[in-house]
A and B are shown apart, each in its own frame.
Chain A
C-alpha cells in the first residue's frame, strides 16, 4: 500500500480499483439513492413482511368482498329477510359494479389507515434511533433519503394494498358473476385510489420530518382523515380541496361517467397538496439537525 497524496487519485478509489470496485453512481441530490431504495424495497420484499402484508390486506379487503359476493347470497337462501342486503350495499348497481365500488371504498378506508400506521415511523424512528445520522454520515443525500422512503412505501402500498387485492377482487367478481370487469378503466380507478393513499403517505412522511414523536403525526393525519369525512357533511367546500370522495371518483372513472366540477377539483387539489407535502418535507429535511 502507498500513502495517498492529494494531487493524485484519492486513496480510497485506488484501493477499491485494485479490488475491482468502481465508485458508486449518483452524486449531488441523488447520492446514495439506489442503495437506499434497494434497502427500503428489501424491507418490503426480502423479509417476511411481504407475506404478512399480503395476508393482512387480502384477508381484510378480499374477505369482505367475498362476504358480499358469496356470503350474502348464501345467507339470503337461509334467511330470506337479508335478501335485499347485497342490493342495498351495492347501491342498486349490478354485483360486478357493486363489488368494484365496495373494493374502492374499503381500500380507501382501511388502506389509508394502513398507510398511516406503516409510514408513521419511517422518518421518526430513524431520527430517534440515530440511524438517520449514521446513513447521512455516508455519501447519501438528504433528498434521496426522503425520496426513497416515499418511493418504497408507494410501491409497497401499491402492490400489497391496491393491486394484489384488486386482482383478487376481479377474480372474485368473475367467479361470482361470470362477468369480466374491463381492465383499463379499473386500472384508472386504481390510479385514483393510489393518489388518495399517496396523499396520506406524503402527509405522514412530512409529519415525521417535522416532529420528533409519533403523537403529533398520528393526531394530524388521522385528524385530516376523520375530520374530512365528518366536516364534509357540514362544509361542502371541503370536498373541493381534500380527498373526501375519491372512491366515488374512482367508480365514476370505471363507469366512464363525467365527473362533476367538485370531484375534478378534488382530484387536482389532492395531487397538488401531495406534491406540496413532498416538497415541504424535502426542504425541511435539508435543514434538520441530526
Chain B
C-alpha cells in the first residue's frame, strides 16, 4: 500500500495496448486529495481507457496505478468501495425504476434496515431532482435524466473519489449547469476526477488539469499555471495613445533595451497602439515596464495587463504542437 495520504490517484507508466494500437502510453499522473481534476483530450485520446483501468474494468498492458494507496488491479474491490463512478453512457437494467437502481447500488456498499437504505436513496433522488420520476422504469428516461441518475448512483456511497466520464456531454445547458453545481458542492467532501472535452466547464470548476493526446500525457498542472502561459516567458498587453510618433519610438527603444524583454510586437488601429511585450523576468516587468513607458508624459496608457489565456487556446495549441511532432 502506498503511504502518501495526500495523493488519491497515482499512476506509474500505466499503459494499455489493444492489439496493435497503443491506447495509453506510460501515463504518470497524480491526483491530490479534494481536488477537482479535469482530464482533457480529444476523442480517442485514452481518457475512458484510463478511467476503466483505474476501476479494474480492463487490465493494463504495463505499469501500475494506485487509488488511496491500493493497487487498482490487485485490490480492485477495496478501491471500488471508496469510489463512485459515472460512465460516459450510463446503462442500467431497463425494467428497474430509478429507486430500485439506487437501492441496488446502495446495497453493494451498505447493509441495514430497509427504511434506512430507502432514506439514503431518497436523499440521492433529491440531490439530482428525480423524486417525481423515482418509480418510473428506466426505459422511459431521457438522456439527461439517465445522467442525473448516474450522478446519484455514483454518489450513493459518499465516495472519497468520484470518477466521472464525460458527465455533462449529453446534457442541455441547464443540465450542464446543474451537474457543475453538484460537482462544486461536493468539492469539500470528495476528490473529483472527471474526463471531458467541454473546456468551459473545466475552466469553471477544475483546479488541476491534465491533457491527454493520442494516449500520451502532454500536460499536467494547476489550471492557473496552465492559463498563465508556458512558464518561460510572460506576455504583457499594453494599449497606448500618443500625439507624437517620436515619443512612441523612444518608449519602444527604452523597453526593448531591457535585458529581460524578449520581444515587442506592435499593431496600430484607430489611433491606438497595441504592444505585446514578451518578458523573461516577470518581477522586473511588474516593477519597471509601466514606469519605462510613462517616463514620457506625452504617452498615455489606456490598458496595461498581463495577457491571460483561455483553456481552449492552451488546449488547441498543445494538441496542435503535439500532432505536428
Tell which of A12, A24, A131 has the most Cβ of chain B within 10 Å: A12
In the complex, are the beta carbons of B34 and A3 less than 8 A apart?
Answer: yes
In the complex, are the beta carbons of A3 and B189 less than 8 A apart?
Answer: yes
Does A110 make an interface contact (CB < 8 A)?
no
Tell which of B58, B90, B105, B107 has the most Cβ of chain A within 10 Å: B107
Produce 1/0 per residue, B94-115, CB < 8 A to A: 0100000000110111111100
In the complex, are the beta carbons of A35 and B107 less than 8 A apart?
Answer: yes
A130 in contact with B33 given A10-B160, A27-B77 (CB within 8 Å): no
Chain B residue contacts of A258, Cβ below 8 A: none
Does A82 make an interface contact (CB < 8 A)?
no
Q: How far is the CA of A35 from the CA of B110 in the complex (A)?
A: 10
How many A-B residue pairs have C-beta atoms within 8 angstroms? Tell me.
Answer: 116
Chain B residue contacts of A129, Cβ below 8 A: 91
In the complex, are the beta carbons of B77 and A19 less than 8 A apart?
Answer: no
Closest to B154 in A: A137
Q: How far is the CA of A6 from the CA of B68 in the complex (A)?
A: 8
Chain B residue contacts of A56, Cβ below 8 A: none
In the complex, are the beta carbons of A139 and B120 less than 8 A apart?
Answer: no
Produce 1/0 per residue, B104-137, CB < 8 A to A: 1101111111001101100000000000000000
Question: Closest approach, in angstroms, between the C-beta of A22 and any C-beta of chain B?
Answer: 5
Produce 1/0 per residue, B257-298, CB < 8 A to A: 000000000000000000000000000000000000000000
In the complex, are the beta carbons of B104 and A139 less than 8 A apart?
Answer: no
Does B309 make an interface contact (CB < 8 A)?
no
Chain A residue contacts of B82, Cβ below 8 A: 10, 12
Does B208 make an interface contact (CB < 8 A)?
no
* SS class, residues of chain A in contact with chain B: loop
Does B55 make an interface contact (CB < 8 A)?
yes
Q: Which of chain A's residues 101-144 have a Cβ closer than 8 Å to chain B?
A: 129-131, 133-134, 136-141
Does A150 make an interface contact (CB < 8 A)?
no
Chain A residues proximal to chain B, CB less than 8 Å = 1, 3-7, 10-12, 15-16, 19-25, 27-28, 31-32, 35, 38-39, 47, 129-131, 133-134, 136-141, 287, 289-290
Does B57 make an interface contact (CB < 8 A)?
yes
Q: How far is the CA of A6 from the CA of B120 in the complex (A)?
A: 24
Question: Closest approach, in angstroms, between the C-beta of B261 and any C-beta of chain A?
Answer: 45
Question: Closest approach, in angstroms, between the C-beta of A170 and any C-beta of chain B?
Answer: 35
A138 in contact with B105 given A5-B5, A21-B111, A129-B91 (CB within 8 Å): yes
Does B147 make an interface contact (CB < 8 A)?
no
Q: Give the top 7 A-B pairs by smallest Cβ distance, nearest first.
A: A130-B91, A21-B110, A138-B108, A15-B158, A6-B5, A12-B158, A289-B58
In the complex, are the beta carbons of A289 and B59 less than 8 A apart?
Answer: yes
Question: Closest approach, in angstroms, between the C-beta of A21 and any C-beta of chain B?
Answer: 4
Chain A residue contacts of B158, Cβ below 8 A: 11-12, 15-16
Does B304 make an interface contact (CB < 8 A)?
no
Q: How far is the CA of A5 from the CA of B110 in the complex (A)?
A: 21
Name the one of B33, B59, B87, B110 contacting A137, with C-beta atoms under 8 angstroms: B87
A-B contact pairs, 25 of them (CB 8 A): A3-B34, A5-B5, A6-B5, A11-B189, A12-B82, A16-B120, A20-B113, A20-B116, A21-B116, A27-B77, A32-B108, A35-B104, A38-B107, A130-B87, A131-B91, A131-B92, A131-B93, A133-B87, A133-B91, A137-B57, A139-B80, A139-B81, A139-B108, A139-B109, A290-B58
